Structure 1
Amino acid sequence: MEAAGKLVKEMQNDITCTICRGYFPEPVTMACGHIFCQACISSIGTVGATTFSCPECRQESQEREIPVVNRSLAELTELDEEFCSGLLQSTQGQSQCVLHKKLLKLFCEDDQTLLCTACCETPEHGAHKILPVKEAAQNCRQKLQLIVSRLEEHCKQYNKLLALEENSAADWPLMVKEEYCKAQFFHLEEELHSLERLTQEEKANEDRIKQHMQNLLNLMEELEEAGQQPHLDVLYSAKELLRRSEIVLSQRAKAVIPELKECIIPGMMELLKKFKVELTLDRTSADSWVIVSEDLKSLKAEGDWEGEMEPPEDLPFHCVFAEQIFSSGRQYWEVDVSQVPQWSLGIYTPNLKIKNDRDMDSCSSVFLLRRIKKEEDYYLQTYPGLLNHRVKDPMSRIGVYLEYFPGTLVFYNVQQSSLIYRFYPIFFLETVTPFFSPGPPLPGTQPGPMTLCSVDSYICNCCYTGLSIYSGRNSQGTTRFQS
């Protein structure tokens, strides 16, 4: 109600002449912008004078005649006068009780409503706490002031928290940056140690091969010299020379073919986890030599395969595709091969090119890593590629990282967190499909399943102690297969 009265007063000031203090009957606007009644201006002005000054601001005007009445302003004044009168009557009516037509002088604390003296006599408010409006308003102001004080206290607390947050936040970026720098430094140290170790191993392998070659040359020289000796001398030294020759010749293969290096990359497996994808097998791509489990997560060799001992020109025989295909981004998946002595896995994509070691473009459609057995040793081979290394122990889980652009395919030994091989760059032109092959089986054995690991699976060293890769039993449970 007070606000309405204030509004009425302001509007009345806008439509009231400052000379006669009444509403504008015929308003005129001076050159300075002030408005007066035409009659008031006529009573204080001198017609025909050279100058005419505003009664309010005393600004002189060169006009010799009194300004004409502004009819639009006069109509607006009449509307404002009617609106102010109605608004004043409305606000006065709001201060009266609608039921008893008496002034609202009291306030009910229980119902939080305004009352007149007649309302207090009704049974509805008989037991309620009734206060005069002035006292109730004062109590309300005190409550509001108390809330304001509490809000001010909260604001002070938040300002303190904000100051603390700003001070601490100023240090966090630096601390995080320093931690990343420290991690990079640690990785750089590990990289230097790994490169130094690899260099030493390569030099040791090179020296070993050179020493073996020298032994061969020395033995050849001794054999040639022995052949020129007299008969008795030849027969006397032949037994020892033949024994040494057999020893040297038996060491030839292992001396020439190196073992796979353990290139451990600390923290790499943890980083690759965020790119893990859930793969399932496409049963329609399997032939009669491979059976796929009902959950589409495992595949197993069926029967005795023939051939497939040499690197394939295209896809390996008896492989199964994944249902998922990729044409962008980064993906990582893992395959459990602990129950399979021989296997192949990789990607298939048509119409691509890869730079070979001689900087010449060569066309290929398949990139794979495979494990095969020759005589008493197991070998890891890549196709295409130069990897053909002996491995000491059977690998339990293989990780595959695919980056569509700029074209990278990397194989990892998950259990050892080590790098096996990296294809780069591969210029992918079409979609990429992972594939898997659980063979060929070793003669006379029944290998177990080759399993696509779920994204939430993890590897534990104790799970792969005493692997029974020839028994066909899955240490992680029984898997149902459907051909």
Structure 2
Amino acid sequence: MASADLRDEVTCSLCTDIYTDPVTLNCGHSFCHECITSTWDFQSSHPDKSAEHKVLEYYCCEDAACICVSCSLAGEHRGHQVETLNEASEKKKEKLRNILQKLTSQREEAEKSVQNLEELRRQVQGKAAGVTEDVTALIRNIREEPEALEKQVLNEISRQEEQVSLRVSDLIRPLEIKKEELSRKMSDIEKLCDMMDPITVLQEKESDRDDYCDAEEDTEEDTERRNIMTHDVGDLDVDLISVTLYSGLAGIVTRIKRQCRTLGASDMSLDINTAGNDVCVSGDLKTVSWSGLDQRRPDTPERFQYSQVLSSRSFSSGRHYWEVKVSESGRWMVGVVYPSIERRGWKNRWFKNHYYVRHDSKKTRLPHPPSCQRLGISLDYEAGRLSFYELCEPIRHLHTFTAVFAEPSENSLTLSVLAGFCSNNHILIIIIIVLKP
């Protein structure tokens, strides 16, 4: 009996002979290498033949293994959920197709994102090229204008120097002639002085001439004549040179400011009809401070109930820039809003030594504490971009809002400055540059 069992273990179930070059499949069964190879070849070329030629025809779902009939009926996979190889293969293919579809969709999304990023990079590169050209042109003009001014001032100095030099030459010419005449006279007199014969000296009538004797008299008139001569020569007009230089520099600065103000708005003023009754507005309508006292202004539909004020101008297109000076103490808010300010607005706020930004009731605390009292606000209406900057050294970007700046009934933005709700009587000084429809 034992001998029969041992023989079964070394016998190929396909050829019923002792194993020749045995191989073991994944399911644990062994066959002759030639037998199992020929059986697989036969299955591939005759898929419709009888099941006795089929070896691995099932798939165990629990163990994820290809098995034969024996394994599914009596082996270690007995009782497991099994499927035919074709069924299991088709199910796996279906899963793989779904995965492939998802991967294809993800790849398309990734490719679209890459294209969008590439387009963004091209736009940024184009914009950078344009800005670079503008900056280069501005700096070139800034360089050229002082050089032109330097040339103008140096030419003025040279002109004055040449003018003085010509006057000096005109005055020197007759003096040189006079000097030669005086030298001749001096030589004659020296000869007489050197003569030893007194008779000869006394008989020389030339020495008694008036023009010889004139040298003995140096009157005040002669001194005054020399002084007038020196005055006529003149000197460099340093005041004129300075005025030319400083006026030229002032003109350069003015032109540079004008070029740099391409983002700037024209003169802005506050609309006192919108100012809350607890804020003071300066006479020039540029500064607002919190007072805490009722200003008893007339009640108008435009007036705010709170410590807030708007300007008398609005913009519905273009690029604009403002600077606002704020108080070091107290609390304040500055922002850009629609006319429906009660509902929406973009604000930058300082409170308890921190910056906060707020939009649509969503408040965000910025990481950097305030470091100066000047803010820059840049609005690009078409691009839908509103940026806040702290004008310290160097300039620091605080926050940028992005939105489509439009409203169904009103097409204008309003820059609103809110004088803070101070309870400690700190004065809130703000140089107001604000917008209002």
TM-score by length of 2: 0.34
Greater helix share, structure number? 2
The TM-score, its normalising length taken from structure 1, stands at 0.31
